[in-house]
């Protein structure tokens, strides 16, 4: 799987959390330890200069993958390998968080927030050079150089997300992990931020791992899509191929939920039930309790990942075979 064309290679990645009650409580109640497998055997690559989107319902493990890739969590199993950057060093990753209000220090001025990684990494020498770089970054994301003196609470949600993007770019990364970067914003502001991210990708040669539950947003941003369900990737492929011919029942149901004012699908089949608890996942295929085409094998045997028709991968007993 290793290739110089890949910015990131993730192989058989898993993460298990210990969610047991305190020791004394377990001794009194005579209960064993409990473990939550948030991510299981996840494998994907992100090509240099491209955007891979991880999509799925809340709780499917998308954000856990993002935190594993950026080093906020340690993997329980598997490997995460970054390709070399343009100067030959290991590629650096930065993260754009979901809530710009919570991810920015409310006690720091914007100039200090953006300047911090520049100072810590020694990317500029002297206050004049650092301040000049901060002003340049603010202009890059569509803000004013005078905004350095203001605090985060003085900005709108969209402006705060622009500040978060400027901070992520301050350390001059080539890889950005974007964890639901527009979900806390109004629809009109979402479009502005997405267009900005596409513009920066083209101008700076950035690579994105884009986390989202909004498939309309994903179609605008991603070159490839990986669909997650209960900690596993169940289908992946080129964006337009996946939208044109979704083969996993879960992917099909997700795509049916995208609103379309020109061709409303009022007779669509609604997704039934709630996602099962990752503390007690069902046997066989994890999606079978909600799947409209599940058979007996789905209830007893977990599907292997195999080649998807038209390229990509799929984990489903009922999918067509090449």
Give a yes or no: residue 43 inside a domain: yes
pLDDT band at 315 (very low <50, low <70, confident <90, very high): very high
Over residues 248-271, mean pLDDT: 73
Provide CB contacts within 8 A for 294, sequence distance 6+.
Answer: 285, 287, 288, 318
pLDDT digits (tens, 9 = 90+) for 216-230: 889 889 999 999 999
The long-range contacts involving 194-198, CB below 8 angstroms and separated by at least 24 positions, are 194/220, 194/221, 196/141, 196/142, 196/162, 196/165, 197/165, 197/221
Q: Is the pLDDT of residue 1 over 80?
A: no
pLDDT band at 273 (very low <50, low <70, confident <90, very high): low
Structure tokens at 287: 């999606």
Note the pLDDT of residue 216: 83
Say if residue 261's pLDDT is above 60.
no
Contacts of residue 122, defined as CB under 8 A and 6 or more positions apart, other chains included, come to none
Q: Does 42 score more than 90 pLDDT? A: yes
Range of the domain at 271: 6-92+173-314
250, 213, 245: which is closest to 233 by C-alpha?
A: 250
What residues does 178 pair with on adjacent strands? 96, 210
pLDDT confidence of residue 271: 60
Q: Is the model's pLDDT at 50 over the cut of 60?
A: yes
Per the domain annotation, does 110 fall within a domain? no
Residue pair 319/247 in contact by the 8 Å Cβ criterion:
yes
179 found inside a domain:
yes
Could you tell me the pLDDT band of residue 74, with boundaries at 50, 70 and 90? very high
Strand partners, 235: 227, 314
Residue 138: inside a domain: no
Regarding predicted confidence, which is higher, 237 or 265? 237
Q: How far apart are CA 120 and CA 114, in angstroms?
A: 11
pLDDT the model gives residue 274: 74
Q: What is the mean pLDDT of residues 180-195?
A: 85
Q: Within a domain: residue 118?
A: no
Answer yes or no: are the C-beta atoms of 11 and 33 closer than 8 Å: no
Q: What pLDDT does residue 20 have? A: 93
Output the CA torsion 311→312→316→317 (10° steps): 40
Instruction: Read off the pLDDT of residues 94-121 as tens digits, 9 standing for 90 and up.
Output: 999 888 888 899 999 999 999 999 999 9
User: Measured between alpha carbons, how far is residue 251 from residues 227, 245, 265, 283 in Å?
Assistant: 7, 10, 16, 20
Q: Do the domain assignments include residue 129? A: no
pLDDT of residue 69: 95
Please, which pLDDT band fits residue 85 given cuts at 50, 70 and 90? confident
* Predicted pLDDT at 225: 96
Reduced to 3 states (helix: H, G, I; strand: E, B; else coil), residue 283 is coil
Dihedral angle of Cα 238, 241, 244, 249, to the nearest 10 degrees: -70
pLDDT of 265 strictly over 70: no
The helix or strand, by DSSP H or E, that contains position 28, with its residue range, turns out to be helix 23-29
pTM: 0.89
DSSP 144: -
Give me the residue label for tokens 């709108």.
156
> How confident is the model at residue 189, as a pLDDT?
85
Going by the DSSP 8-state scheme, the letter that residue 219 receives in this structure is H
State the pLDDT at residue 263.
61
Q: pLDDT tens-digit profile of 287-306?
A: 999 998 899 999 999 999 99
- CA dihedral of 233, 84, 47, 59, whole degrees rounded to 10: 30
**How many structural domains does the chain have?**
1
Cβ distance 281 to 289 under 8 Å?
no
* 260 has pLDDT over 70: no
Query: Does residue 289 belong to any structural domain of this protein?
Result: yes
Residue 63: give its domain's CATH number. Answer: 3.40.50.300
Residue 187 pLDDT grade (very low, low, confident, very high; cuts 50, 70, 90): confident
Give the per-residue pLDDT at 117.
94
Position 200 pLDDT exceeds 90? yes
Answer whether 74's CB lies under 8 Å from 219's CB: no
Percentage of residues of the chain with pLDDT beyond 70? 94
Burial of 270 (0-12, 13-18, 19+ CB in 10 A): exposed
What number is the average pLDDT over the span 181-210? 89
> What pLDDT, on the 0 to 100 scale, is given for residue 250?
93
Q: Quick check: is 155 in a domain?
A: no
């Amino acid at each position: 799987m290793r290739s110089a064309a890949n910015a990131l290679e993730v192989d058989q990645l898993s993460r298990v959390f210990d969610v047991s009650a305190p020791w004394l409580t377990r001794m009194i109640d005579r209960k064993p330890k409990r473990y939550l497998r948030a991510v299981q055997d996840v494998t994907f690559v992100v090509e240099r200069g491209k955007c891979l989107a991880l999509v799925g319902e809340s709780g499917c493990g998308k954000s856990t993958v993002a935190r594993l890739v950026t080093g906020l969590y340690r993997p329980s199993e598997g490997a995460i390998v970054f390709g070399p950057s343009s100067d030959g060093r290991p590629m650096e990753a930065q993260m754009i968080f979901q809530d710009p209000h919570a991810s920015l220090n409310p006690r720091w001025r914007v100039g200090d927030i953006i300047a911090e990684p520049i100072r810590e990494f020694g990317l500029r020498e002297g206050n004049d050079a650092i301040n000049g770089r901060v002003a340049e970054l603010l202009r890059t994301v569509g803000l004013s150089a005078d905004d350095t003196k203001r605090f985060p609470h003085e900005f709108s949600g969209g402006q705060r997300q622009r500040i978060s993007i400027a901070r992520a770019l301050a350390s001059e990364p080539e890889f950005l992990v974007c964890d639901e970067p527009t979900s806390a914003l109004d629809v009109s502001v979402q479009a502005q931020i997405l267009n900005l991210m596409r513009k920066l990708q083209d101008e700076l040669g950035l690579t994105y791992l884009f986390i989202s539950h909004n498939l309309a947003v994903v179609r605008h941003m991603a070159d490839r899509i990986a669909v997650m369900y209960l900690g596993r990737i169940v289908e992946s492929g080129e964006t337009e191929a996946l939208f044109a011919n979704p083969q996993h029942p879960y992917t099909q149901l997700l795509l049916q939920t995208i609103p379309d004012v020109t061709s409303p699908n009022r007779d669509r089949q609604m997704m039934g039930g709630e996602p099962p608890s990752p503390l007690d996942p069902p046997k066989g295929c994890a999606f079978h309790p909600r799947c409209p085409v599940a058979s007996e094998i789905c209830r007893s045997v977990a599907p292997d990942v195999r080649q998807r028709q038209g390229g990509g991968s799929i984990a489903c007993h009922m999918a067509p075979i090449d």
